[in-house]
Structure 1
Amino acid sequence: MNNKMTGMKTSYKIGLVLLLLTAGFVACTKKLDLVPTNDVTADAVYSTAQGYKQALAKAYGAFALTGNTGGTGSPDISTQIINDEGNSDFLRLYFNLQELTTDEAAWSWQNDAGIRGLKEMSWSANNPIVNGVYYRAFFQITVCNDFIRQSTDDKIASRGFTGTDAEEIKKYRAEARFLRAYQYWVLMDLFANPPFVDENSPIATGLPKQISRADLYAWIEAELTAIDGELAEPRTNEYGRADKAAAWALLARLYLNAKVYTGTDKNTEAITWCKRIIDAGYTLHPDYRELTLADNNLNADENIFMIAYDAQYTQNWGGTTYLAHGPAAVPGDISGTSGTWGGLRHPEQFTDLFEDPSGNTDKRAQFYTSGQNKQMTELYVSTDGYSSNKYRNKTRSGDPAPHADPNGNWADIDFPLFRLGEIYLIFAEAVLRGGSGGSQDEALDYINELRTRAYDGETDGNITAGELNLDFILDERGRELYYEAHRRTDLIRYNRFTTEAYLWAWKGGVQAGRGADAKYNIFPLPATDLSSNPNLHQNSGY
């Protein structure tokens, strides 16, 4: 189907709701080898092709929905995390670890469980947000593992599926493998050495064993290349579902960070997969400020893979609802919501990445400054630090969101896990880091394409070959990708996350910023898992 069809976003989310009604949405568990628990047997769920599609929708829905019904031995994920189901949304948890720990964001509500210690780099193995990402990732992995077990060639044949139905189910299986690989990448990036289970792991017997970061890297790489021939061609799948380009984008990101994960550069490989995406026909969407609006599902030119949110069907206090409501001071008539939560603000070091923070030149500078101090003198005061209106729950015409919540609570904005802008930046950085298969001229062209768009079609912001270097790329990634959950990973790759090489307000717990222990480049495994699984060993320093 053509993923430009505006109804696709709605129809796919309806599929998620049907799934919830028929199968339930269960919570995460500390026993990572359990199948999802509900009242519907596998033989019933997987008896029809539609049943398979609904089960696949559950795997996708784990990104955007929260659950609170655990089975025996399967604790409620919202209790496991923060006794707040809205805070158990994957994106809100992941965003907080990727952004609040960096120069891009701070959160005002210091009494929110897990917030204190993130900016200060003083978290522990009991931090609810750290633990929440871990459990949420494994919940999606558990759902995917079950789907993969139920969609082998033998299972498909034994249930009488042939022809088109059988081929579609095989594609669904490849998509589930992609989703699982993505979450294992998240775990590898954040925790380095997590436990590991796949479809071949014994069910409900034994405890998962730990996998090294290098071995998990190799597994993710092999998994993504193995499914390449089974996923839909780029830009041909239903909206919200993964295709080959999504897997290529994850490979490009994996290879860009390979030295962090394995000690070995893979910049040539990063360039290879970027070129596949670029050659697949993606182009930059002409208006940067339309990338994070309520009708951003229309941006099929640039979108590669999105987490789909909808005000009717994915109601929780995380996701892009958090990103639209959360920024401090932004009025509801600008954000398209019922109003601000007074939470998210930028440290001044991030604001300074823009020569003109007004947004009159570089349109990516979407700061809300009225009543806000630029300097973050106090970490937990909502007026310290400029705010952002990057995520607005309105359409490009300024109208209400497609499924606008009359109370202004929930957002329709989809979240870009992968888009072409990031691919251009990966390509340019990999070239500068010595990768082959791309030229510096190409890298400069791609960067200037981003900057021409940012400057509203003008070339005033374009740079010269002499200005293109790695420091520029890091700053440009900040300008282009802020609030898209990249910053911590970027700063670690540049050796600027915990070191003294780059300081920002409240890094290390002091207003001027200071270096922190290198152990904070990796998060600790949850103390609850360590106490219940003797196969696990804590990350160094915790």
Structure 2
Amino acid sequence: MKNFRNKIILGFTALALGISSCTSDLDTKPKVEMSLENLLAKDPQAVEGLLSKMYGTFALSGPSGPGSSDISGNAGETGFLRGIINLQDFTADGMKNRWGDDGLDQLTTASDWTSRNKFFQYLYDRVYYIVPQTTNIILALENVDVANEEQIKSELRFIRALSYYYMIDCFGKGVLVNESNYGTTSPLPEASRTELFNYVESELLAIEPSMPVTNSYGRANKAVVRMLLAKLYLNAQVYTGTARWNDALNYTSLVINEGGYTLAPNFVSVFSGDNNTSSEIIFPLIADPVVSQSFANTTYIVNGSLGTETMPIGTFGATEGWSGHRATKAWYSLYGDLETSPDDRAKLFWTTGHNYEMENYKTWVDGYPSTKFRNTNFNGPSNATQFSPTDFPLFRLADAYLMYAECVVRGGGGSSSDALTYVNNVRTRSHAPAITASELTLDFILDERARELNLEGHRRTDLIRFGKFTGGSYVWPWKGNSAGGVAIPSTYNVFPIPQIALEANPNLSQNPGY
């Protein structure tokens, strides 16, 4: 069983004793039955459980199995990873969902977004569940002595910074909760996108020198912090108006050259049930079919992409197929003819019984399901499971390679030769033909990021950075709720602030256009 997984249940138990949070009204001070100081004074080792709970909240919905939730809403829908897939992939070009849940149609068609869409609220509330909880534990550690205290506080600061990163990316503003104002009873002031950016940057720069080079599986190390810094800088022009390509390149280079990671020899292995052994994954969100069951982790991706009507779901190690997610031609057309393409990634679409064109996104057989993620082990036997055992690679080396190349092409310095080598390493790993230096353009990099990284929570951010998410210069199936795709307003480069947050805090303002 994967390292660190065993502590997740302990984390749930510890937090169940100590903390419950009301995030719907942005109450930043959890209600405490036993103070954390007293809990940790009685049992200093409980801090490991508290820390694992904070890591676990990125992949799991709640403390008591798949039917529980840390925040208000349907437990199966409220998980952080499920929210990222909904908001980053279904709103973009490569993937669509057919269920028509209240609010999900609006995401998958990039149309009619409103502040009352529950899926925006789920991610917003999830961030403001994690942020005060991590802050509370950090403050508690100021008053007790536990083993490895400074590293644990640094990891908690990373978890908080990662949460804020998604607030910056998705909503563009929010409130800033940290040690200086935790527990304040009056509504906090609104923090701009630049203010949140500067805070996250300062936190990551502060903890990066002291983070360990290696850490237990599923926990942050120095490379993980550097990767988040690189992503923050990669999107700095969008977030702040000032490009930071050289900073992004520098931190990406440190991940590549000092992280100790290597590309997995086989692409499929990175998305299989035993991917905890992968040499490529920098930071995983842990899943387990027994210890950490959830409808909100990779179970959502695997089961949602399988359908018993057209697919042998047992082949992919699943016992359930939800007939929900299909890729569009905006993704699989990037490989050319799927039948003749040598690219291993082109083979990860189920075409039998399905139509190339997505004439109706609510029709299961329109579009090709992606079989990129599966429950089966890559090495050795495996049993079909209801819940996925496959960890989600939030950060991985192939992404770092493509980020480096993008920074070089954008004028951020670095080596053009190394950039070409990194891109070709990614391609030839999957038996795609190598490209030449003249082919390494921004358009090519955006397409290669789609071929390599789709369904991993990056696509909306990528399209915005390349200026192709809103407007009409690039359209895809069902963009703007049109089968052929139409332009959407620039308003959609950020999501609306949820109405419930606006009602709870009069200092918050709605994003323009909503």
TM-score, normalised with respect to structure 2: 0.94
Deviations 1:488-516 (CA, angstroms, capped at 9, x unpaired)? 00000111111111111110011110001
2:468 maps to a residue whose letter is R
CA apart distance, 1:45 = 2.4
CA contact (8 A) 2:81 2:296 kept: yes
1-structure distance, mates of 2:253, 2:244:
15
Q: 1:15 to 1:68 in 2, by over 3 A?
A: closer
Q: Which of the numbers 10, 15, 30 marks the counterpart of 1:23? A: 15
2-structure distance, mates of 1:19, 1:138:
19
Question: Map of 1:108-507 to 2, 5 A cutoff?
Answer: 108-110=98-100, 112-121=101-110, 122-152=112-142, 155=143, 159-161=144-146, 165=147, 168-233=148-213, 236-280=214-258, 281-299=260-278, 301-329=279-307, 330-358=311-339, 361-365=342-346, 366-397=348-379, 399-400=381-382, 408-436=385-413, 438-455=414-431, 461-507=433-479
Deviations 1:390-434 (CA, angstroms, capped at 9, x unpaired)? 111011135216xx6xxx311111001101111001100000000
Deviations 1:369-398 (CA, angstroms, capped at 9, x unpaired)? 111111000011111001111111011135
Q: Greater shift after overlay, 355-364 or 480-489?
A: 355-364
Q: Greater shift after overlay, 182-191 or 112-121?
A: 112-121
Q: 1:54 to 1:35 in 2, by over 3 A?
A: farther
Indicate the residue corresponding to 1:66 in structure 2. Answer: 61
- The answer on 1:517 being equivalent to 2:509 is no
Deviations 1:94-143 (CA, angstroms, capped at 9, x unpaired)? 11000111111111101x23212112222100001111111011111121
Give the SS at the match of 1:541: coil
2:418 maps to a residue whose letter is E
1-structure distance, mates of 2:508, 2:354:
46
CA contact (8 A) 1:530 1:536 kept: yes
Deviations 1:470-494 (CA, angstroms, capped at 9, x unpaired)? 0000000000101100000000011
2-structure distance, mates of 1:417, 1:367:
22
1:137 maps to a residue whose letter is V
Q: 1:93 to 1:261 in 2, by over 3 A?
A: same
CA contact (8 A) 1:364 1:479 kept: yes
1-structure distance, mates of 2:439, 2:247:
25
CA contact (8 A) 1:327 1:344 kept: yes
CA contact (8 A) 1:27 1:68 kept: no
2-structure distance, mates of 1:160, 1:130:
39
1-structure distance, mates of 2:496, 2:315:
39
Give the SS at the match of 2:284: strand
CA contact (8 A) 1:255 1:270 kept: yes
2-structure distance, mates of 1:274, 1:239:
21
Q: 1:378 to 1:78 in 2, by over 3 A?
A: farther
CA contact (8 A) 1:28 1:136 kept: no
2-structure distance, mates of 1:371, 1:126:
37
2:38 maps to a residue whose letter is A
Deviations 1:166-217 (CA, angstroms, capped at 9, x unpaired)? xx11101000100110110100000001122112214151112211111111
% identical equivalent positions? 37
2-structure distance, mates of 1:326, 1:536:
35
1-structure distance, mates of 2:364, 2:181:
47
2-structure distance, mates of 1:487, 1:453:
21
Indicate the residue corresponding to 2:78 in structure 1. Answer: 88
2-structure distance, mates of 1:473, 1:108:
29
Q: Which of the numbers 48, 56, 59 marks the counterpart of 1:53? A: 48
CA apart distance, 1:328 = 4.1
Q: 1:526 to 1:359 in 2, by over 3 A?
A: farther
CA contact (8 A) 2:36 2:137 kept: no
2:463 maps to a residue whose letter is L
Question: Map of 1:34-53 to 2, 5 A cutoff?
Answer: 34-37=28-31, 39-47=33-41, 48-53=43-48
CA contact (8 A) 2:14 2:50 kept: no
1:390 maps to a residue whose letter is K
Q: Greater shift after overlay, 486-495 or 276-285?
A: 276-285
Q: 1:219 to 1:160 in 2, by over 3 A?
A: closer
1:294 maps to a residue whose letter is G
CA contact (8 A) 1:29 1:77 kept: no
2-structure distance, mates of 1:78, 1:245:
29
Structure 1 portions without partners, runs of 5+: 1-6, 70-75
Indicate the residue corresponding to 2:499 in structure 1. Answer: 527
CA contact (8 A) 1:192 1:213 kept: yes
CA contact (8 A) 2:285 2:394 kept: yes
Give the SS at the match of 2:250: helix
Give the SS at the match of 2:393: strand
C-alpha RMSD over aligned residues = 1.8
2:498 maps to a residue whose letter is P
Q: Greater shift after overlay, 414-423 or 334-343?
A: 334-343
